Amino acid sequence: MPGLSQARLIEVETSILSKNDALAQGNRRVLKALQVLALNLVSSPGSGKTTLLCETIKALGDAPLAVIEGDQQTSADADRIRHTGARAIQINTGKGCHLDAQMVGHAIDDLMPAPQSYLFIENVGNLVCPAAFDLGEDAKVAILSVTEGEDKPLKYPDMFTAAQVAILNKLDLAPHTDADLDAYEANLLRVNPGLTIFRLSARTGEGMGPWLDWLRGRLADKRAPR
């Protein structure tokens, strides 16, 4: 009828990230069926993610694993990983500031992770955006190096809240800086009291043992779900 508004209200009640979340759940189902332990490694650029990954891969020996590398540009990191003998696939996000579940889903299809294997997903170096995007991983592992400043967890709480594990890396540099390692830990636990924290140096190997034990334990849990 003329003059009468035809407008109507539609209740949507849908998460803006619902598409990503649904794709992430799809990834999770695929990975669970294969008993793959998938970890989403997040940090600022330069925290030593790739070095940690390379050293972790070497230390895990012949355990089956695969790596998805996310960066805006270049295949430098995937090349470094492949140099260790591990299978790696590079995703270039172009202008994108984070990996999303769709990109990772395609990478999983291409990589076809072995049953009972590790899948390391190295996210774009960025302490903000990757926090909101579920990729279908078992846990986010946030890496923080001792040169970045004790206040980083307080400045970027979203990421450290989303993570289950925090790694305090570059421990070998701590004596050369004013780094207060206890303050780092206190701030991490202030934003997320549930965090499991490892202090280590990927470069010297100091402190790698407990991190490797944690990885092996989580993979074993996949085999025999409690």
> Where on the chain is the footprint of other proteins (CB under 8 A)?
6-20, 96-98, 100, 128-129, 131-133, 154, 157-158, 161, 189-194
SS3 34: coil
Q: Whole-number minimum distance, CB 2 to other proteins, in Å?
A: 14
User: Between the CA of residue 186 and those of 180, 193, 194, 213, 224, what are the distances in Å?
Assistant: 10, 9, 12, 23, 34
* CB nearer other proteins, residue 128 or residue 220: 128
CA distance 89 to 27: 16
CA distance 64 to 84: 13
SS3 43: strand
* CB nearer other proteins, residue 27 or residue 56: 27
Q: Whole-number minimum distance, CB 6 to other proteins, in Å?
A: 6
Q: Whole-number minimum distance, CB 146 to other proteins, in Å?
A: 22
Q: Whole-number minimum distance, CB 184 to other proteins, in Å?
A: 16
* CB nearer other proteins, residue 87 or residue 98: 98
Q: Whole-number minimum distance, CB 108 to other proteins, in Å?
A: 20
* CB nearer other proteins, residue 25 or residue 177: 25
* CB nearer other proteins, residue 11 or residue 62: 11
Element (DSSP H or E) covering residue 30: helix 18-33
Largest CA distance in the chain: 79
